[in-house]
Amino acid sequence: MSDAHDEHESLIKTPQQLIAVVVLSFVVFVGLAILVAQFVSSGIKGAQDGSAEATAKAIQPVARVELGAAESTGPKTGEQIYTASCAACHDTGAAGAPKKGDQTAWAPRIATGLEALVKSALNGKNAMPPKGGNAALTEEEITRTVVYLANQGGAKFAEPKAAEEKK
């Protein structure tokens, strides 16, 4: 009886060690799997659409600095900047943001004038962070984006010229 009991106890130690080894190798395996999955999916996303911009967008949360470098290769349209930096709030109305194309929401804001709207976008307003949270944007880019966004809501602001053409 007591022999059987001892034997039972000594048997348990090995499975515990086994379990520890199994758990450890599982953790390592999952870690590797996540790395591989991220590598593969970013490769696929980039390959699907081939463009540097699509790749930059796919990796945006991990590599904002790289995105900033990619942006400097040419001026972006207000719509492109809007999609990248403003749509999260202004497409959905999140945090009370006036929705793109909602003329009722935009009319009183448009009435304050482009300059006031640009100032709000540059400095932030209530729930909106300065520059929509994308500090890499220049004042000119913000202006272009505000013009785009406000015009979708019924304004008729003129798209600002590129910096060198400004009076």
Positive or negative CA dihedral for 44, 47, 53, 54?
A: negative
Q: What's the token pair of residue 107? A: 């009319």
What's the rounded Cα separation, in Å, for the pair 51 and 68? 16
Binding residue for ligand HEC, selected from 58, 117, 147, 155, defined by CB under 6 A = 117
Q: Which stretch binds ligand HEC (CB under 6 A): 17-25, 39-47, 60-68, 86-94?
A: 86-94
What's the rounded Cα separation, in Å, for the pair 8 and 157? 83
Binding residue for ligand HEC, selected from 56, 58, 67, 121, defined by CB under 6 A = 121
Asked if residue 149 binds ligand HEC (CB under 6 A), the reply is yes
Q: Which stretch binds ligand HEC (CB under 6 A): 9-17, 18-26, 109-117, 153-161?
A: 109-117
Find out whether 165 and 133 touch, Cβ atoms under 8 Å: no
Taking only Cα atoms into account, the Rg of the chain, rounded to an integer number of angstroms, comes to: 27
Q: How far is the CB of 128 from ligand HEC (least distance, A)?
A: 3
User: 31 vs 129, which CB is nearer to ligand HEC?
Assistant: 129
Burial class of residue 80, CB neighbours in 10 A (0-12, 13-18, 19+): middle
User: Where does this chain bind ligand HEC (CB under 6 A)?
Assistant: 85-86, 88-90, 94-98, 109, 112, 116-117, 120-121, 125-129, 131-134, 137, 142, 145-146, 149
